[in-house]
Amino acid sequence: VANGGGSGGGGGGGAASLSSALASTAPSSEAKDGPRRVRVTQAGVTTSLEAPAGAARTLSRELVPDEKLDSLLLTVEALRAQLDEKERIYSARVTALLEDRRLRVAEEEARISACSKQMAHLETSLAEAERLLTRSTRDYLQLRHESLSRQRSDTEAVEALRRESSARKADAEQARAAAAAEVSQAASKAKRGAEQYVALFRQQAAEAQREANQLREREGASEQALTARVKELEATLVRLRRTHSALEERRRLEAE
């Protein structure tokens, strides 16, 4: 530490420079109670010294004047308290950041694990889908081949049925023409037979009419003969009644 022997104003400027230097002092990478390097600037001269923890309380009066020692000690204590508070805040912030980083790392690891599981599941599903697609494609190609073969067979069968139908139609036309000819012949023959039958029936009817007339005439003659016979029998009956009455009268007379 350089001791400035100037005026009071110079001493005040040196104290201000010392306070600024101490305020800008940062903690080293060593432990909290480890040695610290203090830079003191006074009257344009900068001096660095390294002292163990607690050196602010054991500053030699030989280095700093008596009238400024208490002020410097209070300043050092305030700065030390600020440094401790900042260290505590920074430590808490670092701890929070580390915890947040740990949580983020855990979440990322969980997400990566879930993504890995999902990817494995998707790969399994993809393999299954590819297997099903391959089998479906094979089945589709097989069914299409069978369908084309069946369609070709059906087409050939339809053509054969069409040819057979055409042949059947031709046969049916021939059979219809033959049947029409036979029907015409049968109708002509039936017409001739009917005409012959009608002529025969008329002849038989005429003969029956003549026989009926003859029978009617015979019946009239028989009726006349019967009428005459009845009259004769009635006359005979009248005579017999008279004869009977006469015989009854005679017998009555004889009985008397």
Taking only the tens place, the pLDDT of each residue in 107-126 is 999 999 999 998 999 999 99
User: Residue 65 has what pLDDT?
Assistant: 56
The Cα 190–Cα 90 span in angstroms is: 135
pTM of the complete model beyond 0.85: no
Distance CA 244, CA 256 (A): 18
CB atoms inside a 10 Å sphere around CB 33? 9
Rg of the chain, C-alpha, whole Å:
80
Residue-by-residue DSSP string for 45-114: EEEEEEE-TTGGGS--TTTS-HHHHHHHHHHHHHHHHHHHHHHHHHHHHHHHHHHHHHHHHHHHHHHHHH
What's the pLDDT at 39?
Answer: 45
What three-state secondary structure class fits 38?
A: strand
pLDDT at 164: 87
Judged by DSSP in three states, 214 sits in helix
Q: How far apart are CA 18 and CA 38, in angstroms?
A: 10
| pLDDT, tens digit (0-9, with 9 covering 90-100), for 163-208 | 888 888 888 888 888 888 888 888 888 888 888 878 888 888 888 8
Q: What is the pLDDT of residues 2-52, one digit of tens each?
A: 333 333 344 444 444 444 444 444 344 333 444 444 444 443 434 444 444
Residue 69: count of CB within 10 angstroms of its CB: 14
pLDDT confidence of residue 63: 56
Q: Tokens representing 103?
A: 């949580």
- Express each pLDDT in 74-108 by its tens digit: 888 889 999 999 999 999 999 999 999 999 999 99
pLDDT band, residue 222 (cuts 50/70/90): confident
DSSP state of 33: T
pLDDT for 126-153, tens place per residue? 999 999 999 989 998 998 899 888 888 8
- Count of positions (residues) in the chain: 256
pLDDT at 89: 93
Q: What are phi and psi of 49, to 5 degrees?
A: -135, 150
Q: Which of 30, 109, 20 is nearest to 72 (CA)?
A: 20
Distance, in Å, from the CA atom of 81 to the CA atom of 75, rounded to the nearest integer, reads 10
- Structure-token match 């080293």, residue found: 28
Where do we find the tokens 């019967």? 226
One-letter identity of residue 7: S
Report the distance separating Cα 125 and Cα 109, nearest Å: 23
List Cα–Cα distances, 173 to 48, 60, 66, 170, in angstroms. Answer: 136, 146, 150, 5
Q: Give the per-residue pLDDT at 20.
A: 44
Mean per-residue pLDDT, 231-250: 88
